[in-house]
Amino acid sequence: MRRQLRWYGASPLHLLALLACFCLAGYAAARLVSSHPVAVVVWFLGAVIGHDLLLMPLYSLADRSAMAAVRHREPQLPATPWINYVRVPAALSGLLLLVWFPLILRLQSPYHASTTLSANPYVWHWLAVTGALFLLSAVAFAVRLRRQSRTAPPPEPPTAVPDGADPDRETEPPADTVLTQADPGGGEQPAVQEDHGPALVAGEAAAGGAVSGLGQGESRPGPQQEAAGEDQGPPRQIQHQPAAQQHEAGPGDEAR
Amino acid sequence: MTDDEKPGTHRPSLARRAAETIRRHRGGMPGPFRRSFWRSPIRGPWLTSVLGLVLLAGVSVVFVTGLLSYAAYNPDLARINDTTPGKGLLGFYLFSWPTHPVWLYRVNQGLHVTLGLVLIPILLAKLWSVLPKLFQWPPLRSPAHVLERLSLLLLVGGAVFEFVTGVLNIQQWYKFPGSFYTLHFYGAWVFVAGLVVHVGLKSRTVIRALRSRGLIRELRVGTARTQPESPDASELVSPAPAAPTISRRGALAFAGAGSLLLLALSIGQSLGGPLRRTALLAPHGQDLGTGPNDFQINQTAAEVGVSTAETGLSWRLTLDHVGGTGHLPLRLSRAELLAMEQHTAYLPIACVEGWSTDNQAWTGVRLRDLARLAGVSHPASVLVESLQRGGTFRHGVLSAGQIMDPDSLLALRVNGADLSLDHGYPARVIVPANPGVHNTKWVASLTFAS
């Protein structure tokens, strides 16, 4: 018994469950493929790889491209992480297109003849919903920027990028892409952490820079404050670096 | 879950030693086969388990409503009712479909289709969350591992296949190979076979993962404080996690927002009334007007070759009885039918594709009165045939229960007006809780069996 167990790699129950699964699936599959065997098998295998090897690489590429394209301009952008304000509306719009593309692209030829309904409005509905999603996202981002500028010190000014980590940052792959990563590059983590760490959550930023934040008053970061911001930049990074490492000293550290 | 590296296991097999060698060299593996390729800090058994549980609950409802949907056609009653006559043992659960509550089929199909749409973002998120497993290295570690990965092929392939065929069918984009019913019904069983074994094999992992971090506590964690899960046997947790750009809470909300969006833009086609127009992206989200015949249609007379020449004054309903006596068949004009006792029933039209209408006021002759006229006081079934030329549903068989229901009619009028040609003039069947395609339009004959 133990010997068979070792040979198989799991308990006999595991084997029995899987054999039962294959019996049922085989019974159904024989009927599934009975009319158009080749086409059905192609469709089924297409379903297996369609997401993992086609859709997912495509959306990951889009996500990384968006981050990479904007990364080059990052010094001009507010330090508030913006990616989700692009990612979410774009993904939701893409989801609607993925589900309703036959309607949106007017591919279904008998539609009007069958239903007496017009096939035309769907592309406009989709565009309108997409527009509304991006608009909502823009409003949400604006609200967040405003709230942040009230409670936190101003984001890093455009000129405040002289420290050594930044040239690296330009060339290394976007290590903070959640969706996929091509390169391990674990060593460069802290450099990226400092990009986003300080301002990820308005409340945290406020806690981190409470004193200076209060000192700044309510006004939004303007050019006249750049000098002050410049002064603040490096200390803020120093404040946050250890914080980030503290977090990672937990379970994350074992992963390395 | 398959490795049994227990003490006392001496002399590892050749395969295991080879696997070990490969594992030791996996640092040199290309691209996605290297574990450190996958860097999302939120991937891990907890997130996968939460998504998996939501998906399991939803898919169970979709599966059961799908089985009920098949039963609603009464496939056991007659060969022509059965869209998958080769079902064999897979029809083990079939029963005679009831006529009450009248909204039964409407709710069943609305739930099946709308919930199916709503689950798409959850399925995509779940597939994303387990993607590194596709590139496991070594890919095959033991016979158990080989079999389990084969079952995952059925699970993932079956799931995507079911969602794709369903989504294309409700948009009437019939590009799939063969009959939708065949593909969607048998495909569902392949998927469920993979699902049941997957749930069985993963249940302990899921329980362990969910206990590892509380849901409420996790939902309080923002992006900045998001930490990778502790590594375990699942191989989902990245060994080289990147800085988070989204929290687990954010990822769940992201998928949930996709579900809500799909729900908001399609539920109107099943709710009907003034809410229909809110279904901006759904095949039956447009209003047709406010007239008595202005409710949804899915097959026009022109499409199936029914012309006004056949439905005019010369039209006769042929009323027959299998093995009937001398006075049969009877041939009744529309005026003669209108002269019989009329009854009004308030019933919806509900389609297998998930859309439906509010209750319409149908007026016509009760089917049981027509059965009696054909000399059958205890009918077992009735074959309804249409004038339409083609189509799977140019004919259908109704059960005894459906004939005897007082609300089952051969309808001649709707909402106080004559039926329009596209709604089945001169006469159509309307039976409570019946699938739309079995409410046959342009009825040419009724043949009762006792």
| Residue type at B174 in one-letter notation | Y
Question: Max alpha carbon distance in chain B (Å)?
Answer: 92
B114 is a domain residue: yes
Residues B163 and B257 in one domain: yes
**If you measure CA to CA, which chain B residue comes closest to A59?**
B128
Q: What are A244's two structure tokens?
A: 């980030």
Residue B256 belongs to what domain range?
14-264
Q: Which of B39, B117, B147 sits opposite A181 (nearest CB)?
A: B39
Report the distance separating Cα B414 and Cα B360, nearest Å: 7
Residues B204 and B346 in one domain: no
Give the pLDDT score at B28.
60
Stronger pLDDT, A194 or A73, i.e. the higher one: A73
The model's confidence at residue B30, banded by pLDDT at 50, 70 and 90, is confident
Report the distance separating Cα A82 and Cα A91, nearest Å: 15
Residues B94 and B239 in one domain: yes
Residues B216 and B342 in one domain: no
Q: What are A249's two structure tokens?
A: 């000293």
pTM: 0.81
Residues B252 and B308 in one domain: no
Give the pLDDT score at B142.
92
Residues B308 and B399 in one domain: yes
Stronger pLDDT, A197 or B88, i.e. the higher one: B88
Contacts with B, A 40-59, CB within 8 Å: 40, 42-45, 47-48, 50-52, 55-56
**Domain boundary at B200, B235, B264, which?**
B264
**Domain boundary at B209, B243, B264, which?**
B264
Q: Compute CA B59 distance to the chain's CA centroid, rounded to the nearest angstrom.
A: 10
B297 is a domain residue: no
B365 within 8 A of B334, measured Cβ to Cβ: no
Contact: B160, A47; criterion CB under 8 Å: yes
Give the pLDDT score at B12.
58
Contact: A250, B245; criterion CB under 8 Å: no
Report the distance separating Cα A125 and Cα A109, nearest Å: 19
Give the pLDDT score at A246.
37
B271 is a domain residue: no
Give the mean model confidence (pLDDT) for residues B259-274.
Answer: 96
B391 within 8 A of B299, measured Cβ to Cβ: yes
What pLDDT, in 10s, does the model give residues B176-202?
999 999 999 999 999 999 999 999 999
**Which DSSP category does B398 fall into?**
E
Give the pLDDT score at B10.
52
Residues B240 and B103 in one domain: yes
B72 is a domain residue: yes
For residue B353, give how far its alpha carbon lies from the nearest alpha carbon of chain A (Å).
Answer: 13
Give the mean model confidence (pLDDT) for residues B424-429.
Answer: 96
Residues B49 and B151 in one domain: yes
Give the pLDDT score at B234.
78
Residues B163 and B217 in one domain: yes
Stronger pLDDT, B137 or B87, i.e. the higher one: B87
B437 within 8 A of B375, measured Cβ to Cβ: no
For residue A217, give how far its alpha carbon lies from the nearest alpha carbon of chain B (Å).
Answer: 24
**Domain boundary at B210, B239, B264, which?**
B264
ipTM for the assembly: 0.91
The model's confidence at residue A178, banded by pLDDT at 50, 70 and 90, is very low
Residues B49 and B109 in one domain: yes
Give the pLDDT score at B279.
96
B294 is a domain residue: no
Query: CA geometry: angle at A251 spanning A246 and A252, to 5°?
Result: 70
Indicate the burial class of A5 (C-beta count within 10 angstroms; 0-12, 13-18, 19 or more).
middle
What is the number of CB-based contacts under 8 A between chain A and chain B?
Answer: 304
Total domains present in chain B: 2
Residues B158 and B217 in one domain: yes
Stronger pLDDT, B10 or A213, i.e. the higher one: B10
Contacts with A, B 262-301, CB within 8 Å: 262, 265, 280-281, 283-284, 286, 288, 296-300
Give the pLDDT score at A183.
39
Give the pLDDT score at A168.
38
B292 is a domain residue: no
Closest CA relative to residue A32, chosen from B352, B64, B158: B158
B7 is a domain residue: no
Q: What are B341's two structure tokens?
A: 């006792």
Task: Name the one residue in this structure whose structure tokens are 């026009």.
Answer: B300
> Is the confidence at residue A122, as pLDDT, over 70?
yes
What pLDDT, in 10s, does the model give residues B430-449?
999 999 999 999 999 999 99
A82 contacts chain B (CB < 8 A): no
In this structure, what CATH number is given to the domain that contains residue B326?
A: 3.90.420.10
B9 is a domain residue: no
Lowest-confidence range among B216-230, B346-360, B422-436?
Answer: B216-230
The model's confidence at residue A70, banded by pLDDT at 50, 70 and 90, is confident
Give the mean model confidence (pLDDT) for residues B393-409.
Answer: 96
> Is the confidence at residue A254, as pLDDT, over 90?
no
Q: What are B127's two structure tokens?
A: 């597939």
Indicate the burial class of B101 (C-beta count within 10 angstroms; 0-12, 13-18, 19 or more).
exposed
Residues B86 and B39 in one domain: yes
Give the mean model confidence (pLDDT) for residues B219-236.
Answer: 87
List the helix and strand counts (H, then E) for chain B.
Answer: 13, 10
